[in-house]
Structure 1
């Protein structure tokens, strides 16, 4: 066997030989190039330099780039016929990764560079400014950073410059006004600041300007009115303020005009429709514009898209839409269009009959008062979306509504419609969503609604409906006067997801046909007069999350299948006549997840229920004395834990953190949060739970820093309490390993509903749960990262339990609540279940929500108060999950096996068998294998010791007495 010195010597020798080999090839190549390319070696070497900067070429597009072919024949290259010099470099959507070589600036005959939709990084080389013949430069949809090079002004023949969807920062350089031939400037979706500079107006050749989604700021310069050839202007989401210059409205060739989500003020000129006769796309939503919407827009005969929602426009809507024959989108919601005449606000509907291409009409929350004209039935049969909710429309709903056969979504909610729901609604065969709630509709529900085979959501609640339920109907029928039984035909609704029939006068037994509605996740039959037993067929509803059958006359025993439903989150059986034993497993193991109040013949169950004991029918099994095991392993654990605790304590003491309750938080409004998240767009949704949804957004476009905005679902039980608990907790804590809160918002939305949200620092690396279990994460946590995360969480717990003025119990410690920043430092978040021990506001209730199944300690299930011992249990489970990669609710854990027991049985010699492979495969080969196993075993011991069932035996007390 060769010595390490010999191996090193051999490796060095091999490296030197390899370098000489490369040098020989380079020398040989340089001589053949001169011979092969007739003096065009400059282009050849520039292209080879381009290739050398590419680190990933998934489609092998550059494999032809070698000396076997003339470079004019390489993929993506075009040359001039006479000189054989490179004129086009076009490699669009090839998945290329790497940086852009500065040697591209040596391709002096280039007319076009097209690198759109790749993954180029780094800065844009200033050497591109040498390309005086360049006409088209397409670097959009990449990852370029830095600034726009000032040297690009040297490309004085440039006609089309596309730099959008990158990470460019800084100002638009003043040298750009030297590009006298520039017709299109595309810089949208970057991080550019400094406003739209007035000198851009000097580029009188400009035809299209795209600057949307940059934190530019400032006002729109009047000099842009010099762009007499302009056809497209797109500057939405740019933090622009002030009024729109009148010079813009003199650009008669303008076709597309888009300025949404800014802070623009003022009114629109009354002659806008005469000044912009070629307008096809007008988008000004999400600003602060006032005044009337000019009737002259009727003269924009080519207009196809009109979106002016979320402004402060007022006055009667008087546009004559009959002239806009090409219009397909009209969105004017969240304005104030009430006219002077009480019942005349909707007269404009008559003028829409000629708009045969109309697809989307949005007029909700516009303060429209009046009746809905009969002419509503004359609208386009292409109309798919009709939104008239949250107005003050009254009278009956015209039967002509049934003529709108293209409708897929119809919302008329929160108005004052009365009379019967017209049977013609049954003609809307494409309808998927129908919202008629919060009106004064009366009479029976039309049987014809049962013909709507594509209907997935039907909202009829809060009306005055009466009579029988049609045999093929299912969704949202609560709070009416419906009577009779549930028809057996309901079994045909295989895709029914939510069925709410609460608080009606329904009677008879619960039909067994409900068991065939296998897609049900929410079933509420409360507040009726159902009787009999719960049908066994309901056992097939394995995906049910909420079941409420309270306040009926049901009887019999609680079915066994309830405690086997793994998805069931809430069960309400209260105020019936059930009898027998209440289970203690499944949903019945968490006192906050079920209710059996008002059933006087029940017995057993959790201690907190205070029900009488059931009669014993058999001998009790003897329990294994686990305390003996603890006595046996305690000495070993104590030695390990002493070492861990000393290091841990040293870490805590070296990072003191003081709470800053007096810190001033910035104030934010609902409107600011709406704009920060693009209207709470699903594309910005990064997480969702029972009480809230979390969105990514940008509050301050000046620094372009992302935040996480947690919006509370106030309609859900416990959400308001969760908000108060979290606010109270954050008022008392600050620590580097706790998620940083920026501010909170308690307001109302545009519909007048209560709105509450919390704004946090954004954690770019997501949650520990994502790293452990998400298939989207190809990277995995190595052993050192996992230990560091656990150390960070332990430090945070030490702060909460021992270093605050009042002890704070987190109450819901789990991987999804541990978030990671850019440096993979862990931050504990989500204090919605937190308790300040000793604080009156947060005193525990035995019926309150206490943690998450699998992570909450067993004592919480029997009504015990929340304590720091409970957090220690959750930390133990968290540690075991992080190290083993297995959730405590994994399907393998049944028949008495748990994550705790799984890890415990592997101690001390088989620990390596339960550790997640990704935690050990990345370890250095220089580390002694035995030492690694000892370290792993010590870590698992801590997790096992923290997660024992008995609170006094957990590691917490051991540490406190060292």
Structure 2
């Protein structure tokens, strides 16, 4: 840089270029008359040169928005004429030099968006000429001294947000009476908000969010009343603190220039101030996750400019006011997870600028107003889930051509799914489960080329699965379970991945990929043409009958010899018996090397069974009953009856059974299951610290997924199987994990099958005395409770995960 000869240069402005490299030292050593140096908005790197000290007349140093690193040179404190020092948005590190507090004319000190650490030197708080102090988004810590603001009478802007400051906000802040911008969010400030913050007539923005500030008694809320003196106030941010108690009515007397009010994620109770409508210029009301009660104030309808209203996760009750339709500028309305009731007002259709609407998890009743589906802007999110809405899904839903996500699950909706839903061509997520929809699945759904998730489970749908679903290349999750669907399951597209679909609870489905373990469809059997003349058919039939009669007699004779049968043909229908010799060969003679574990009723061996096409190649787990143990035969009977007609992806599947005699002539009974390569949940939860060869850990996502898998299995057993079944011994050792870490509930040796017409705790088909594991009480979700509670637990988890913070966590 050939600037050394410009000795009389007073202003050097090279901002907004693409300069790279380091700042040359000649700028300070040669340009001794320099007054203004502006190198901002470039790509400069390296350190700030200490040679700037040699420009005693310099007043402005602006180097923001570069890649400067290293420390702020302490020698800058000798530039006695310096007024503006702007080095924000760089990569500077280290402490703030205390020498900067010796600059008698410094007016603007901007050090934000760096990696500075340590405390703010006390000398900084003594710069009486300071009008702006910005250190946000660093790693600064420490407390603010009690007298910090005593000499800062000219201070207008102070930004301390996103650091590690702690302690109280000093009451002396009231001495800086010219403050217009006060930003202290995302720190660890504690105590009450001093009422002195209301002594700033020019204050237009105060942001104290994400701290540890508190209020409980009415006197702790005094600062709200003093803020009514701030006639220019536009933004009040108090969210994510520890405020409690009742919000004072004086909130309604704040400046009518207030645009944004944020009180979210506190513990504020009582009602929303009834005259909040006085704040006529409000655009954003953010009150979610508190304990507000009573009803929505009708004065809200006066807020003609309101664009965001979030009061979700409170305890507000009553009906939605009819005049909510006056808020025609609303872009987002979230009333979810409250106690609202009554019917949905038709005036919701007047909110013609909505992008998102969430009314889920309330007690709304009656039909869905068709006007909701005439809002052309409603495109991002619409949720009506977990209410008591009735009637049909309006045909007008097809008008939401730009809608991306729609939730109507867990209501009482009935009728057919309207084919007009095909008009929602941008729809990606569709949830209609847990309703009373009937009829067939509209084939138009397969023409929605952006559809990623479709859940229409737990309805009364019938007919076949549209084969065109297999052509949806975007579809990654499909849940059709617990309906009355019949016919062939496709094997391509999403159907090729058994973990991406759920079809249990549809007893008349057939075909599909092998992992679904469905019976083959009769249409798949080849229809062979007759090869013999029709005249030969009677002879063939007679010969066949004779052979069948002979085989039947042999079977009866063999059955009398072994005197061991399966508990009942109905309970084990569909399972083919296997011989003792086959199991012995599969387990290498039940060798100790193949022993997986042993319990009170039997031992489990790993085996390789020829011709088995299970989840894990030919590997199986063989449970050999200890018949000499009392009640072991009853355990065999109970398990066969419990699982005989059960079909669920989270139940351990019986491959076959063996009821025969061994080589010594002793009675032999065994049950063969799919092999679970990841063992039991107990093996993951209770690690053997002495085994250093392989340590197993479950992350949070895996734990929640396993928890949901077990809950789905229990919900099926209690409510959706052929007969209600109580497991009676659900514990981590009876939860098995396959190679995809999908949980399967097993060991039904103590299961109870409820008789028709009995209550939850009355007689069962198996009476075994004391049930369960002695001395063990399974935690939380393991306990058997009425299915509605278990299912509600799932719903709450999804709602918690699917609110405006976390839309979908697991399916």
TM value normalised by structure 1: 0.53
1:517 & 1:452 partners in 2: Cα distance? 20
1:502 & 1:225 partners in 2: Cα distance? 58
Residue 113 of structure 1 deviates from its aligned partner by 1.5
1:281 & 1:732 partners in 2: Cα distance? 58
Is contact 1:160-1:183 (8 Å) kept?
yes
Taking a change above 3 Å as real, the CA distance of residues 588 and 249 of structure 1, as seen in their structure-2 partners, is farther
2:736 & 2:440 partners in 1: Cα distance? 41
> Which residue in the other structure is 1:429 paired with?
328
- SS in structure 2 opposite 1:558? coil
Q: Which moved more, 1:238-247 or 1:555-564?
A: 238-247
1:387 paired to 2:271: no
1:260 & 1:148 partners in 2: Cα distance? 25
Taking a change above 3 Å as real, the CA distance of residues 218 and 847 of structure 1, as seen in their structure-2 partners, is closer
Residue 117 of structure 1 deviates from its aligned partner by 2.3
1:114 paired to 2:16: no
1:495 & 1:368 partners in 2: Cα distance? 37
Which of the numbers 739, 749, 764 marks the counterpart of 1:844?
739
1:251 & 1:746 partners in 2: Cα distance? 49
Taking a change above 3 Å as real, the CA distance of residues 306 and 841 of structure 1, as seen in their structure-2 partners, is farther
Is contact 1:373-1:398 (8 Å) kept?
yes
Residue correspondences, number: 537
> Which residue in the other structure is 1:61 paired with?
none
> Which residue in the other structure is 1:739 paired with?
none
1:558 paired to 2:558: no
1:464 paired to 2:383: no
1:261 & 1:495 partners in 2: Cα distance? 37
> Which residue in the other structure is 2:271 paired with?
371
Taking a change above 3 Å as real, the CA distance of residues 208 and 745 of structure 1, as seen in their structure-2 partners, is farther
Residue 732 of structure 1 deviates from its aligned partner by 10
Specify which structure has the higher proportion of helix.
1
1:745 & 1:323 partners in 2: Cα distance? 52
Which of the numbers 246, 252, 255 marks the counterpart of 1:350?
252
TM value normalised by structure 2: 0.63
Residue 391 of structure 1 deviates from its aligned partner by 1.1
Taking a change above 3 Å as real, the CA distance of residues 573 and 841 of structure 1, as seen in their structure-2 partners, is closer
How does 1:114-193 map onto structure 2 within 5 Å? 114-129=13-28, 130-193=30-93
Residue 312 of structure 1 deviates from its aligned partner by 1.1
Residue 555 of structure 1 deviates from its aligned partner by 1.0
Residue 401 of structure 1 deviates from its aligned partner by 1.1
How does 1:494-643 map onto structure 2 within 5 Å? 494-616=401-523
Residue 271 of structure 1 deviates from its aligned partner by 4.1
Which of the numbers 172, 175, 194 marks the counterpart of 2:94?
194
1:547 & 1:197 partners in 2: Cα distance? 60
- SS in structure 2 opposite 1:394? coil
Any idea what the Cα deviations from partners look like across 1:441-474, whole Å, max 9, x if unmatched?
A: 1111111111111112111111111111111336
Taking a change above 3 Å as real, the CA distance of residues 126 and 551 of structure 1, as seen in their structure-2 partners, is same
1:404 & 1:745 partners in 2: Cα distance? 46
Is contact 1:491-1:516 (8 Å) kept?
yes
2:192 & 2:52 partners in 1: Cα distance? 44
Residue 537 of structure 1 deviates from its aligned partner by 2.8
1:261 & 1:334 partners in 2: Cα distance? 14
Larger radius of gyration: 2
Q: RMSD over aligned Cα, in angstroms? A: 2.8
How does 1:424-823 map onto structure 2 within 5 Å? 424-473=323-372, 475-616=382-523
Any idea what the Cα deviations from partners look like across 1:398-446, whole Å, max 9, x if unmatched?
A: 1111111211111101111111111121111111111111111111111
What residue ranges of structure 1 are gaps of 5+ in the alignment?
1-100, 621-720, 735-742, 748-753, 756-839, 850-962
1:198 & 1:588 partners in 2: Cα distance? 68
Which of the numbers 259, 263, 287 marks the counterpart of 2:160?
259
1:744 & 1:844 partners in 2: Cα distance? 14
Which of the numbers 228, 252, 255 marks the counterpart of 1:322?
228
2:438 & 2:693 partners in 1: Cα distance? 52
Taking a change above 3 Å as real, the CA distance of residues 348 and 607 of structure 1, as seen in their structure-2 partners, is same
Residue 503 of structure 1 deviates from its aligned partner by 1.2
What residue ranges of structure 2 are gaps of 5+ in the alignment?
374-381, 528-680, 706-734, 745-811
Residue 281 of structure 1 deviates from its aligned partner by 0.3
- SS in structure 2 opposite 1:523? strand
Any idea what the Cα deviations from partners look like across 1:861-906, whole Å, max 9, x if unmatched?
A: xxxxxxxxxxxxxxxxxxxxxxxxxxxxxxxxxxxxxxxxxxxxxx
- SS in structure 2 opposite 1:338? strand
1:846 & 1:364 partners in 2: Cα distance? 38
Is contact 2:148-2:173 (8 Å) kept?
no
